């Protein structure tokens, strides 16, 4: 699934570098405390955090927060490994788009925090951060309290593990004292998305959702709710959502389990997006229940791999969006065209 | 249901009293009827509410070798292979548990005790993590190999030293091996979240992935192992009296125990390979059957097979109904039922001063 990632990343970074060079150091959230030194105040789900303006050493935990910092020209000194979605044999534990950004910035490779056993407090403390970014994470109140003793912490805006990529950029960039650059980055990514989908008119108005399907056992499936960042990104690309994804969100869950016996509840899905490889469509078409779905009959099934970089990239981050956008949109456009 | 009244009635009569042959034959007949009744429930009920017409359509189309057009009827048809798998797997697990309890003379022995489940798990995990396996047949092969090697290892460890293979040494070797293999499984899994995701599906035992193809591979294995187990039933009766008495009765203790162990391992390993580890069926069912029928293995073995089939079919059906619109795996329900049973067994055992 390698598709000229270098080129995509380079163009994305170029745009970011341009933005960074013309943006000012002011932030909308900045205040002037009595002491005279500038302090940034960020509000999030776990409290209000005061951050000194002269932050130099940034640590990030959770998913994709390091990519926000990197996109804004700050190379974190320590990063959570991203292995929950990738193969453990992949060296440093970061994806290419992040590693290349480190290279681009001429920065040293970060210390990788081990996530196998929860938050790696010792390694985080050892990296001596001035700021810990966790805008997209699952921090608990206890973890937040412990981390706050190490350095100021920016947690998620509302719900753990449920932060859309724009919100991740917004809150992390506020913490970095680069709120304006953050907004510019969002605008830039939105422009890239608009460009990419302009050539795929078939997407508009089709209903798509992100699924978890186990090819070895097709008797059940999971569908991610509309607010989950994977499904939400399909919405960013112009898709509408099927009822099951809307209902799951309304029930406050980030996914819904459905038995294949109730496969007709998915009849309004035009495009199925799922982890897995090319054999998935064949398996679905061979299954008596799945094969009753129009999306399966039409072959409108997009598989994004499993455990490889592309399957990680589709949970969008500030840097993974430019890295995967054209390829992903092309796959989705093809599938949407089949749904006609 | 028939089984309910059965349990209530026999609690009053048993335990301790030797059941008569006519009553045991009655138990077998009731067991067969219960399997058929459970199968009927499994076909009729699931995550989806289906009408009688859809049930008839689904079964009729299956008999004619067709796939029906209506989703309800297809759902019914799709319940056929999983019901068959639940019967086969439940019977094999029940039988396997009865064999293991007999040869180890350990009341809480079940297929897990000889390291079988963890051996299978370790091989499957390594297959996922290092070789990217994903097909049912690859799971099957690795799980069988892993179970067999783990069981063999436990048996070898359990038979070294003075006194040869004793039940207590087997149980200890099994527990130690299980602990060691479990930590290896964790060591392989922890840094590989992706493998963990795939392993998760296999690790929660269930019959939802039933396919005729994989069943065709394991059923002959299971049949041979079951026949071996039945053939050894009287030998196992002698083992229950203690090895010395068994020798005095002319039973060749070593070969009997080894052959029975192989049969027990194959029974549960083959099921584990197809369904993932399904806990507690092998533990619970033989206990209940021993209460009902008395200590004769010639009756406990077939009754355990019937009881295991009923339990797993009902667990799978209940899991689908409870979990609607999703499903709850049968392995979760058997564990849910099994934990209190384990406590009861442990308490009873202590009171008897075993």
Residue A308 has pLDDT above 90, yes or no: no
Tens-digit pLDDT profile for residues A104-146: 999 998 999 988 778 899 999 999 999 999 999 999 999 999 9
CA distance B327 to chain A (A): 6
Regarding whether A94 and A11 lie in a shared domain, the answer is yes
Does residue A159 sit in the same domain as residue A302? no
**CA-to-CA distance for A221 and A245, rounded, in angstroms?**
12
Distinct helix (H) and strand (E) counts, chain A: 13, 13
* Tokens 């892993």, residue located: B146
- Check CB contact under 8 Å for A116 and B191: yes
Per DSSP bridges, beta strands A208-213 and A271-274 are parallel
pLDDT score recorded for residue B110: 74
In 3D space, the residue among B181, B200, B182 whose CA is nearest the CA of residue B128 turns out to be: B200
For B260, the token pair is: 């029975």
* Whether residue A138 is found in the same domain as residue A11: yes
Read off the tokens for B310.
Answer: 């009923």
- Helix or strand holding residue A273 (H, E): strand A271-274
Let me know if residue A114 belongs to a domain: yes
Tokens (6 digits) for B21: 């042959």
> Is the Cβ of B192 closer than 8 Å to some Cβ of chain A?
yes
Q: 3-state SS of chain B? A: CHHHHHHHHHHHHCCCCCCCHHHHHHHHHHHHHHHHHHHHHHHHCCCCCCCHHHHHHHHHHHHCCCCCCCHHHHHHHHHHHHHHHHHHHHHHHHHHHHHHHHHHCCCCCCHHHHCHHHHHHHHHHHHHHHHCCCCHHHHHHHHHHHHHHHHHHHHHHHHCCCCCCCHHHHHHHHHHHHHHHHHHHHHHHCCCHHHHHHHHHHHCCCCCCCCHHHHHHHHHHHHHHHHHHHHCHHHHHHHHCCHHHHHHCCCCHHHHHHHHHHHHHHHHHHHHHHHCCCCCHHHHHHHHHHHHHCCCHHHHHHHHHHHHHHHHHHHHHHHHHHHCCCCCCHHHHHHHHHHHHHHHHHHHHHHCCC
Q: Is the CB of A261 inside 8 Å of chain B's CB atoms? A: yes
Tell me the two tokens of residue A2: 């390698």
Give the pLDDT mean for B54-63. 94
Given A148, A163, A193, which residue is the final one in a domain?
A193
Same domain, A61 and A167: yes
Report in angstroms the alpha-carbon separations of B171 from A69, A195, B268, B353: 55, 66, 17, 19
**Residue B70: closest C-alpha in chain A:** A292
Name every residue whose Cβ is closer than 8 Å to that of residue A197 and which is 6 or more positions away in sequence. Answer: A203, A237, A238, A329, A333
Looking at residue A20, its pLDDT comes to 40
Residues 6 or more apart in contact with residue B227 via CB below 8 angstroms? none
- The sign of the dihedral angle between the CA atoms of B259, B103, B85, B149 is negative
Chain A window 210-239: which residues touch B at a Cβ cutoff of 8 Å? 214-220
- The reply to whether A237 and A163 lie within a common domain is no
Nearest-neighbour CA in chain B from A89: distance (Å): 8
Domain boundary among A193, A209, A238: A193
For A314, the token pair is 């589709």
CB contact under 8 A, A260 and B206: no
Interface contact flag, B327 A220, Cβ < 8 Å: yes
Q: From CA A100, how far away is CA A6, in angstroms rounded?
A: 8
Confidence of residue A89 (pLDDT cuts 50, 70, 90): low
Q: Do A262 and B194 touch (CB under 8 A)?
A: no
| Residues in chain A closer than 8 A to B48 (CB atoms) | 259, 261-262
Could you tell me the two tokens for B337? Answer: 């039922």
User: Which positions ≥6 away from B123 have C-beta within 8 Å?
Assistant: B142, B143, B145, B146, B149
Residue A16 counted as domain residue: yes
Residue of chain A nearest B128, judged by CA positions: A87
Phi, psi of A222 (to 5 degrees): -125, 145
A272 within domain boundaries: yes
Reading phi first (left if > 0) and then psi (alpha if -120 to 50, else beta), residue A240 is in beta
Q: Confirm whether the ipTM is greater than 0.90.
A: no
CB B206 to CB A217 under 8 A? yes
A28 touches chain B (CB under 8 A): no
Q: Is B136 on the interface with A (CB under 8 A)?
A: yes
Rg (alpha carbons) of chain A, rounded to whole number = 20
- Shortest CB distance from A259 goes to which of B48, B129, B194? B48
pLDDT at B305 over 60: yes
Asked if A264 is an interface residue toward chain B (Cβ–Cβ < 8 A), one would say yes
The answer to whether residue A1 is domain-embedded is: no
Lowest-confidence range among A27-36, A145-154, B95-104?
A27-36
Q: Which of residues 58-117 of A touch B (CB under 8 A)?
A: 83-88, 116-117
Residue B10 has pLDDT above 60, yes or no: no
Final residue before a domain boundary, out of A151, A171, A193: A193
Tell me which residues of chain B, numbers 276 to 335, contact chain A at a CB-CB cutoff of 8 Å: 320, 323-327
Please judge whether A256 and B326 are an interchain contact, meaning their C-beta atoms are less than 8 angstroms apart: yes
**What backbone phi and psi angles, to 5 degrees, belong to A221?**
-150, 160
Q: What is the pLDDT of residue B189?
A: 79
- Cross-chain Cβ contact A257/B327 below 8 Å: yes
Out of A88, A263, A288, whose CB is closest to B191? A88
Edge-to-edge order in the sheet of strand A47-52 = A30-31, A39-44, A47-52
H or E element, residue A47: strand A47-52
Query: Does one domain contain both A13 and A105?
Result: yes
Alpha helices, DSSP H only, in A2-57? Answer: 5-22
- Does the pLDDT value for residue A21 go beyond 50? no
Together in a domain, A36 and A156: yes
**Residue A214 Cα, gap to closest chain B Cα (Å):** 8
Residue A300 shares a structural domain with residue A236: yes
Which residues in chain A have Cβ-Cβ distances shorter than 8 Å to B139?
216
Q: Which of A116, A261, A306 sits opposite B75 (nearest CB)?
A: A261
Q: Does B209 touch chain A (CB under 8 A)?
A: yes
A258: chain B residues, CB-CB within 8 Å:
325-326
Give the residues across from A48 on adjacent strands: A43
Total domains, chain A:
2
Least CB–CB distance from A88: residue in B71, B192, B209: B192
Q: Do A219 and B208 touch (CB under 8 A)?
A: yes
**Distance from B222 to chain A by nearest Cα, in Å?**
22
Residue in A242, A248, A315, A227 with CA at minimum distance from that of residue A275: A315
**DSSP bridge pairs for A212:** A222
Whether chain A has a CB inside 8 Å of the CB on B135: the answer is: yes
Chain position carrying tokens 């009731």: B30
Contacts of A292 in chain B (CB under 8 A): 71, 74
Number of alpha carbons in the 13 Å side-chain half-sphere of residue A66: 29
Clarify whether residues A170 and A311 are in a common domain: no
Q: How many CB pairs under 8 A join A and B?
A: 89
Whether B324 sits inside 8 A of A219 (CB atoms) is no
Q: Looking at the complex, does the CB of residue A45 fall below 8 Å from at least one CB of chain B?
A: no
- Whether residue B15 is preceded by a cis peptide bond, meaning omega within 30 degrees of 0, is yes
Same domain, A187 and A266: no
Classify each residue of A255-283 as buried b or exposed e, where b means 16 or more C-beta atoms within 10 Å of its C-beta: bbbbbbbbbbbbebbbbbbbbbbeebbeb
CATH of the domain at A277: 3.40.50.1980
pLDDT digits (tens, 9 = 90+) for B144-154: 889 889 988 88
> In this complex, do B325 and A214 lie within 8 Å of one another by their Cβ atoms?
no
Q: For residue A99, what are the contacts with CB-CB under 8 A and spacing of at least 6?
A: A92, A109
**pLDDT at residue number A3:** 36
Whether A234 shows a pLDDT value over 50: the answer reads: yes
B60 Cβ partners below 8 Å, 6+ apart?
none
Token pair of A279 as six digits:
């054999």
pLDDT of residue A154: 97
Collect all residues with Cβ–Cβ distance below 8 Å to B10 and sequence separation of at least 6: B291, B292
**Chain B residue with Cα closest to A264:** B71
Query: What is the percentage of chain A residues whose pLDDT exceeds 90?
Result: 71
Cis peptide before A110 (omega within 30 of 0): no
Q: Is residue A177 part of a domain?
A: yes
Query: What is the model's pLDDT at position B16?
Result: 45
What percentage of residues in chain A have a pLDDT greater than 70?
86
Output the pLDDT for position B12: 42
Secondary structure letter of residue A272 according to DSSP: E
The CA distance from A181 to A173, in Å, is 7
Question: What pLDDT does B6 receive?
Answer: 40
Across the interface, of A86, A257, A306, the residue whose CB is closest to B326 is A257
What φ, ψ does residue B222 adopt, rounded to 5°?
-65, -40
Question: Are A234 and A149 in the same domain?
Answer: no
Query: How far is Cα B303 from Cα B14, in angstroms, rounded to an integer?
Result: 16
CA B349 to chain centre: 22
Range of the domain at A52: 6-193
Query: Within this chain, do residues A184 and A220 fall inside the same structural domain, yes or no?
Result: no
Contacts B131 to A, Cβ<8 Å: none
Tell me the per-residue pLDDT of A27-78, one tens digit each, with 9 for 90 and over. Answer: 444 443 444 457 999 999 999 999 998 899 999 999 999 999 999 999 999 9
Residue A200 — very low, low, confident or very high, per pLDDT cuts 50/70/90?
Answer: very high
In this structure, are residues A1 and A57 in contact, taking their beta carbons and an 8 Å threshold? no
């Amino acid at each position: 699934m390698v598709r000229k990632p270098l080129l995509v990343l380079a163009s994305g970074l170029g745009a970011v570098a341009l933005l960074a060079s013309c943006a000012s150091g002011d932030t909308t959230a900045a205040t002037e405390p009595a002491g005279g030194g500038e302090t940034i105040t960020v509000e999030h789900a776990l409290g209000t955090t005061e951050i000194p303006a002269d932050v130099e050493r940034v640590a990030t935990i959770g998913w994709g927060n390091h990519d926000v910092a990197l996109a804004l020209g700050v190379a974190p000194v320590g990063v959570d490994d991203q292995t929950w979605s990738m193969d453990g044999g992949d060296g440093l534990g970061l994806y290419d788009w992040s590693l290349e950004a480190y290279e681009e910035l001429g920065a040293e490779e970060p210390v990788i925090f081990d996530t196998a056993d929860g938050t790696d407090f010792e390694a985080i403390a050892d990296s001596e951060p001035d700021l810990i970014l966790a805008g997209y994470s699952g921090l608990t109140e206890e973890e937040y309290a412990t981390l706050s003793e190490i350095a100021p912490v920016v947690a998620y805006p509302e719900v753990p593990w449920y932060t859309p990529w724009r919100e991740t950029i917004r809150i992390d960039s506020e913490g970095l004292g680069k709120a304006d650059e953050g907004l510019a980055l969002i605008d830039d990514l939105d422009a890239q998305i608009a460009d990419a989908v302009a050539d795929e008119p078939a997407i508009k108005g089709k209903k798509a959702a992100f699924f978890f399907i186990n090819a070895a056992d097709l008797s059940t499936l999971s569908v991610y709710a509309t607010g989950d960042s994977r499904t939400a990104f399909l919405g960013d690309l112009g898709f509408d959502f099927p009822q099951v994804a809307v209902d799951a969100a309304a029930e406050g869950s980030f996914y819904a389990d459905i038995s294949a016996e109730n496969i007709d509840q998915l009849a309004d899905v035009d495009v199925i997006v799922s982890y897995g490889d090319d054999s998935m469509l064949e398996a679905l078409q061979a299954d008596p229940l799945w094969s009753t779905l129009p999306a399966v009959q039409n072959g409108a099934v997009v598989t994004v791999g499993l455990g490889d970089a592309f399957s990680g990239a589709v949970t969008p981050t500030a840097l993974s969006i430019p890295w995967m956008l054209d390829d992903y949109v092309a796959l989705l456009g093809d599938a949407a065209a089949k749904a006609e | 249901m028939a089984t309910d009244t059965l349990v209530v009635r026999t609690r009053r009569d048993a335990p301790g009293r030797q059941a008569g042959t006519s009553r045991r034959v009655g138990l077998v007949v009731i067991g067969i009827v219960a399997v058929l009744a459970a199968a009927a429930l499994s076909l009729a009920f699931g995550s989806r509410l289906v009408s009688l017409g859809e049930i008839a359509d689904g079964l009729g189309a299956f008999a004619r070798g067709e796939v029906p057009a209506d989703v309800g009827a297809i759902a019914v048809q799709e319940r056929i292979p999983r019901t068959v798998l639940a019967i086969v797997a439940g019977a094999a697990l029940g039988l396997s548990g009865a064999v293991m309890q007999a040869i180890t003379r350990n009341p809480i022995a079940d297929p897990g005790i000889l390291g079988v489940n963890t051996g299978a798990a370790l091989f499957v995990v390594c297959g996922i993590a290092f070789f990217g396996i994903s097909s049912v047949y690859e799971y099957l092969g690795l799980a069988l190999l892993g179970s067999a090697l783990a069981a063999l290892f436990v048996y070898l460890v359990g038979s070294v030293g003075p006194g040869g293979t004793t039940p207590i040494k087997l149980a200890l070797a099994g527990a130690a091996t299980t602990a060691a293999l479990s930590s290896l499984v964790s060591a392989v899994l922890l840094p590989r979240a992706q493998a963990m995701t795939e392993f998760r599906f296999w690790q929660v035992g269930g019959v939802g992935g039933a396919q005729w193809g994989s069943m065709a591979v394991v059923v002959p294995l299971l049949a041979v192992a079951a026949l071996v187990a039945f053939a050894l039933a009287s030998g196992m009766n002698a083992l229950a009296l203690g090895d010395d008495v068994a020798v005095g009765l002319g039973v060749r203790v070593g070969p009997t125990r080894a052959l029975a162990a192989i049969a027990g391992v194959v029974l549960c390993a083959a099921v584990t390979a197809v369904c993932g580890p399904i806990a507690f069926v092998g533990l619970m069912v033989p206990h209940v059957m021993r209460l009902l029928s008395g200590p004769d293995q010639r009756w406990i073995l077939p009754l355990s097979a019937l009881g295991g089939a009923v339990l797993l079919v009902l667990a799978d059906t209940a899991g689908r109904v409870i979990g609607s619109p999703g499903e709850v795996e049968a392995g979760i329900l058997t564990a849910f039922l099994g934990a209190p049973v384990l406590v009861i067994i442990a308490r009873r055992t202590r009171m008897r001063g075993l």
